[in-house]
Structure 1
Amino acid sequence: MKKYMLTLCICFLVWNNTNAQQLKSPNGLLTMDFSLKNDGTPTYNLKYKGRDVIKTSTLGLELKADKKSLLNDFTIQDTKSSTFDETWKPVWGEVKSIRNHYNELAVTLNQNETNRQIIIRFRLFDEGLGFRYEFPSQKNLTYFVIKEERSQFAMAGDHTAFWIPGDYDTQEYDYTESKLSEIRGLSEKAYTENVSQKSFSPTGVQTSLMMKSADGLYINLHEAALINYSCMHLNLDDKNMIFESWLTPDAKGDKGYMQAPSQSPWRTIMVSDDARTILASKMTLNLNEPCKIDDTSWIKPVKYIGVWWEMITGKSSWAYTDEFPSVQLGVTDYSKAKPNGKHGANNAHVKEYIDFAAANGFDAVLVEGWNEGWEDWFGHSKDYVFDFVTPYPDFDVKGLHEYAKSKGIKIIMHHETSGSVRNYERHIDKAYQFMKDNGYDAVKSGYVGDILPRGENHYNQWIVNHYQYAIEKAADYKIMVNAHEAIRPTGICRTYPNLIGNEAARGTEYQAFGGSKPNHVTVLPFTRLIGGPMDYTPGIFEMDLTKLNPDNHSHVNSTLANQLALYLTMYSPLQMAADIIEHYKKFPDAFQFIKDVAVDWDESNYLEAEPGKYITVARKAKGSNNWFIGNVNGETPRTSNIAFDFLEKGKKYTATIYADGKDAHYKTNPQAYTIRKITVTNKSKLSQFSAPGGGYAISIIAN
């Protein structure tokens, strides 16, 4: 069902005077005021239930090498108001249908001296505000360069924030929880080991930024529909508690090359007095364009295993040989090289994974390190790193495809670009065609290391356009994309649902690089997942990594029950059982949950949530009456109390509860778990203990 209509201004738009307007959300709880200062500077503010969320803040853009920027000297030329209400069906998702309901105000501004026009468009949903800049076709504004966007977000207090440092190249940080006023003092301590990490400002942070006010408001700042524009960070004026947008520059320091007609991404502000509203919001998706792929029948959620964790932990190797000090593709002769004996992507080993996947109901197997070039792929500022089509001598592309096909299993391709985007674009058509010729329907791409061309950043406009190019090109070949080290998602998976997953945050691999904070997974759904699903790669059963590699003394800071719960709390249509086969065979009763849990959903109910503390969610499997529940807990042990009132009335269900043992602890006793079965109905309630870094997972099967 879709409904769109223009309405009289008095329905939700109250005129105060010629320079001030007020917009209300459909439920009336949010109010946005727009006005011009005396010098013609655009401003806005936002209130929730009469309480300040964003105090009066200025809007505009500073232009480079231009006699006048788009900051002030404006008058209102026109305003248009409307309401929009539709229900649409995602190709995959947390729910089977999504309501898109907002009230809109479009303000056309004319700059007096230059006679230039811009439109600031506001959309107010029940859970937040989106606004963007639009540049209509006009003779006085055609080509222009953005020096900086000057969108402000003036906070109403010294909120508690869950933040990572502003960075042009990576989001792979643990989150810091602090007051806004403490960010400057904690900035250097917020770094965690990663070669790409560097901050642009001691008060710079990245979006999605989650905050909580002293009076209990949950506030989230992010962006939606990042297309042909630089990624936005935030820089804090900590004397006045005002965030201002900070775009990612290119190698020359420029932050955006624009040609009218065009537009910026949406800047988003979510707010509620209930944390669950933030998690359940579909506002980011709703601010993106509808799906542009006509036939989506080939886009399917995937549960997979892979030849991956053993390389991450150092048990195996991506590289085939240790003989070559350097590699030149087309010159280096691998046929004469001595194998190092640790190469993971060999025929026999991959067949083991294919057999295991087939025996346990998985869809696919990811294989990394299958192609020539891994001996010197990283850290050499090297353009021609991989050709994406030439396998190592011990990897039979066609033979493994036929073997997997005979077992009903797909193999997931791996394309590591090493940050050399020019090389990837040069080979991408040939690489995608190679995939189709050999039965690969999905690719995990990677962008580890500094970007080539040299001096470019992972998040500037040119590279953002590359990521989009790769997604759209993949759609032409009917290929699903799981992009790692790429730009953080901003809801583009609605428009291109073949973008089935992203990394763009500190994932499970960091548990093998020194560990992540035990509450990390209670923050990510409030931050990284606001823009789209993450390939977090859960399911680790052995937390002591010296058992895989005696030289790796890292510890996975999670209980086993917590790892099971991640399949629910870290929503993704792409879910990996990331540990090695031997560990799943050691704990077959716990592994049963991973085998049973769905990856696509008709309904999702967030039962309890507090950022940095805990999250509990119940999801109904697509096309069935079966439910699954996941709870993840931070560092403080607690008892979770939930009701089963989401179940169908009059039905009985068998609930299998996978929970922390009474002495479980993420560090000292992570593998302590219990499994029990109970009968539940929609009138049942449950009190369940969650250990530090722990949680529980429940499968609820209709009788």
Structure 2
Amino acid sequence: MKKKLILPVLFLSIGISNAQGNKPKSYELSSPEGKNKIQFQLVNNAPKYSVSHGKTVLISPSDLGFTLKNNEDLSTNFEIIKVENTSFDETWEQVWGEKKKIRNHYNQMVVQLQQKGQNKRKLEIQFRAFDDGIAFRYVYPKQNVKDSIFIMDEKTTFNLKEDGKAWWIPANRADRDEYLFKDSPVSTLDTVLTPLTIESKSGLAISFHEANLVDFASMTLVNTTGNQLKSDLVPWADGVKVRVKDTFTSSWRTIQIAEKPTDLITSYLILNLNEPNKLKSISYFKPYKYFGIWWGMHIGKYSFWEGPKQGATTKHAEEYIDFTAKEGFHHLLIEGWNKGWTPAWYENRMHMFSFTKSADNFDLEKVVEYGNKKGVALIGYHETGSNLINYLKEIDEGFALYKKLGIHSVKIGHVGSKLNMKEWHFGQFGVNYFRYVLEKAAEYDLAVLYHESIKDTGERRTFPNMVSREAARGQEYNAWSEGNPPNHLTILPFTRLLSGPMDFTPGIFDVEVKQGYNGRRVHGTAAQQLALYVTIYAPIQMMADLPENYEGKPALQFLKDVPTDWEDTKVLEGKIGEYITTVRKDRNSADWYLGSITNEKAREVKIPLSFLDKNTTYEAQIYADAEGTDETHNPSAIAISKKTVKASDVLQLKLGGAGGTAIRFKKL
């Protein structure tokens, strides 16, 4: 990965002696173009910060610090020891991603504090101001106080200057983050997960999240009073929030700030706050699309476990490999291939899976060999059932088996309300577990796809074998529950997807799920399912439907064409919960792709094509809802047409209710 350092400049350093008489109490940090500003000050010896965007105050003076064990207060009785300001500007390249070249440009202020009490504890607060938002984190340096550190509470608050409309899902619940988003005023929120996206009354769009989460608890947000949000760290089972020795560095607390919600999607602040790529080589992973023995299990055609309806059999695997190869694809996921699956596999209990022994009627080595002959690579699958005691005993053996067989991707599931039936997925225990497995996978040349995992905080920059994760309510809910309402897909890009790639598993052509449970279906059109390959970003994308539902369908061509690795991304228009239109440029050709989706409301959208290269002609290959099609009227019908276009043209699209349009702009 080539990096170009444009301008790292140290432009101000202020050292403050304890003996200094008139100490400055307030410091300001502006972003490079002055769009965002952070102010830091001590008020009665307690650190406070505030944030403004232009002339608009977003965050009024808010608290900083922690409460330690025995009610020791690490949020007051401070004096400023030193303030150091720096500026940094670089452009770096993603190994894979939604945008190839990313600029990382910020101004930084590091405030070193020391308490006046007996222990004289030190605390460093690092602030960064970007033109697309701000971030800060805590560093507790090694110091004379030699003891274990137990954080009982984080006192960080976000005092919003005014109320706003928030899109949220609850925190600390049995189904982790697999809930439908609700919208309500900030002043009415309970404890919620991040990213938390808010449209403020001032008209600005802001999103609260965190970045570079390592050996710390995840941050949730709780409304305490009025418009105040407070950090609420996810605890260990015994109530302690974070336990470390000698030193700690929190994740970055981030606030992305935009003039309109669509600009949040093309902010790369979260990635920029992570460390550069630590892997020497990632040659074993290239972005791809894949089929799977998966949807049939969710709709009830097959079972996950051994028996008469067993999905993972050698016979089924070879049939799926034949189809995958015939259609020109090269990856296949097979769930349930190993021993340990039972009809109660998803229930909260310490299930005992094997990660090396094949299920009855399935021969892993034979299937891999058959796939190799056909040019189809298997994606490994480990379902832990959240029994990590069992999994970590076998992880090396399981990963070694995959490496021996030439398997370079693994999906790892963690079904269960708590890890080991004890700890929250989002607590420090879970954070450390998921990072450990990611680094362990890199030792075996494995790319990782997490399900039922912690949220993404940008670690894919540091470990680009972290290729995708679920971490939200995905497609499978359409198979066995009341399903996802149409607006769910128009909320995800402005919320969950701000944190990173998602394995939503799109591509259902039989949206009425004729072979599935009675009354269960996808609440949208087949054309909308095509558009999701553009509106939802991931470097690996599943084509989730059954092979027979793709067989002979002209619309399959779009799935053959659409890439999963991009040169650039632009969001042309959108409104949270209503509609979105996204375009992306292929990293390996001159082609652009468009995805446009709507909620239950049919709409017409006009799309200026100014994103296309000027003085160039394109063939627009259009996959749209057929005339009269919507969620309840002939939803599988896709109208395919072609049109010659150029950058000066405007396309008018008609989206049926819960519908969509997907377009390939092929350079002529």
Q: Which aligned pairs between 1:240-639 and structure 2 lie closer than 5 A?
A: 240-321=226-307, 340=308, 342-375=309-342, 378=345, 382-383=349-350, 385-512=352-479, 513-545=481-513, 547-549=514-516, 551-585=517-551, 588-639=553-604
State the match for 2:107 in structure 1.
Answer: 103
Q: In the alignment, which residue of structure 1 is the partner of 2:649?
A: 684
Residue in 2 aligned with 1:80? 84
Select 1:34's aligned residue among 36, 40, 56: 40
Task: Specify the code of the residue in structure 2 equivalent to 1:679.
Answer: T
Matched, 1:212 2:199: yes
Q: Deviations over 1:221-277 (max 9, x none)?
A: 00111111111110002x421000111111111110022332000000011112222
Q: Which amino acid aligns with 1:690?
A: L
**1:653 Cα offset (Å):** 0.8
Report the residue type matching 1:32 in the other structure.
I
Give 2:143's aligned residue. 138
User: What's the counterpart of residue 195 of structure 1?
Assistant: none
Q: How does 1:161-180 map to 2 (within 5 A)?
A: 161-167=166-172, 170-180=176-186
2:19 counterpart residue number: none
Do the aligned partners of 2:609 and 2:647 also contact (CA within 8 Å) in 1?
yes
Distance 2:27 2:54 in 1: 18
- The structure-2 alpha-carbon separation of the partners of 1:684 and 1:142, relative to structure 1 and needing over 3 Å to count, comes to farther
What is the CA-CA distance between 1:637 and the residue it aligns to? Answer: 2.1
How many residues end up aligned between the 2 structures? 654
Mapped contact 2:571–2:581 kept (Cα < 8 A): yes
* Cα-to-partner distance string for 1:36-66 (whole Å, 9 max, x where unaligned): 111x111111111211211211111111225
Aligned to 2:18: none
**Quick one: which amino acid aligns to residue 179 of structure 1?**
P
Contact 1:164 1:176 in 2 (8 A): yes
Cα distance in 2 for residues equivalent to 1:572 and 1:91: 13
Please report how far the alpha carbon of residue 182 of structure 1 lies from its aligned counterpart in structure 2 after TM superposition. Answer: 4.1
The yes-or-no answer on 1:157 pairing with 2:144 is no
Of 54, 57, 62 in structure 2, the residue corresponding to residue 57 of structure 1 is 62
Quote the Cα distance in structure 1 between the aligned partners of 2:60 and 2:659: 39
Q: What secondary structure is seen at the aligned counterpart in 2 of 1:388?
A: coil
1:620 is matched by which residue type in structure 2? Answer: K
With structure 2 as the length reference, what TM-score do the two structures score? 0.95
SS of the aligned residue for 1:374 comes to coil
Shift of 1:440: 1.3
Task: Please state how far the C-alpha of 1:378 moved relative to its aligned partner.
Answer: 2.8
CA contact (8 A) 1:421 1:451 kept: no
Q: Once the two structures are superposed, what CA deviation does each residue of 1:481-529 show, in whole Å capped at 9, x if it has no partner?
A: 0000010111011111101110010011111122012111111122111
2: CA distance, partners of 1:9 / 1:229: 29
Q: Amino acid of the residue matched to residue 632 of structure 1?
A: I
Sort the Cα spacing of 1:379 and 1:409 in 2 relative to 1 into closer, same or farther, 3 A.
closer
Contact 1:313/1:552, CA 8 A, preserved across alignment: no
SS of the residue corresponding to residue 65 of structure 1 reads: helix
Partners of 2:370 and 2:655 in 1: CA distance: 43
Please list, as runs of the form range in 1=range in 2, the aligned pairs for 1:120-139 lying within 5 A after superposition.
120-139=125-144
Cα drift, residue 142 of structure 1: 4.3
Q: Equivalents in 1 of 2:304, 2:660: separation in Å? A: 33
Q: Does structure 1 conserve the Cα–Cα contact (< 8 Å) formed by 2:9 and 2:88?
A: yes
- Name the aligned partner's letter for residue 139 of structure 1: N
Which blocks of at least 5 consecutive residues in structure 2 are unaligned?
15-21
- Measured after TM superposition, the shift of residue 380 of structure 1 is 6.3
Quote the Cα distance in structure 1 between the aligned partners of 2:463 and 2:316. 34
Query: What CA deviation, in whole Å up to 9, does each residue of 1:568-612 have, x standing for no partner?
Result: 1100001000010111125x1111111110010111111112211
Q: Distance in 2 between matches of 1:295 and 1:426?
A: 27
- Separation in structure 2 between the aligned mates of residue 213 and residue 219 of structure 1, nearest angstrom: 8
Q: Partners of 1:79 and 1:687 in 2: how far apart?
A: 55
Q: Secondary structure at the match of 1:469?
A: helix
Q: 1:362 to 1:632 in 2, by over 3 A?
A: same
Once the two structures are TM-superposed, the CA of residue 667 in structure 1 deviates from its matched residue by: 3.5
Task: Give the distance between the partners of 1:312 and 1:230, measured in 2 at CA.
Answer: 33
Residue 543 of structure 1: how far off its partner (Å): 2.0
Contact 2:351 2:385 in 1 (8 A): no
Q: Where does residue 92 of structure 1 map in the other structure?
A: 96
RMSD of aligned residue pairs (Cα, Å): 1.6
Q: TM-score, normalised by structure 1?
A: 0.91
Letter in 2 for 1:33: Q
Indicate if the aligned counterparts of 1:575 and 1:599 stay in contact, CA closer than 8 A: yes
Q: 1:141 to 1:676 in 2, by over 3 A?
A: farther
State the AA in 2 paired with 1:612. G
8 Å contact from structure 1 (residues 663, 672) kept in 2: no
Shift of 1:635: 2.5
Cα distance between partner residues in 1 of 2:186 and 2:222: 11
Aligned-pair identity in percent equals 40
Structure 1 CA distance for aligned equivalents of residues 348 and 180 of structure 2: 27
Query: Match for residue 617 of structure 2?
Result: 652
Amino acid at match of 2:546: I
8 Å Cα contact 2:346/2:415 also seen in 1 = no
Q: Which moved more, 1:299-308 or 1:167-176?
A: 167-176
CA separation in 1, counterparts of 2:343 and 2:583?
45
SS at match of 1:146: strand
Cα distance change of structure 1 residues 380 and 355 upon mapping to structure 2, 3 Å threshold: closer
Check the 8 A contact 1:168/1:459 in 2, yes or no: no
Deviation at 1:377, TM superposition (A): 5.3
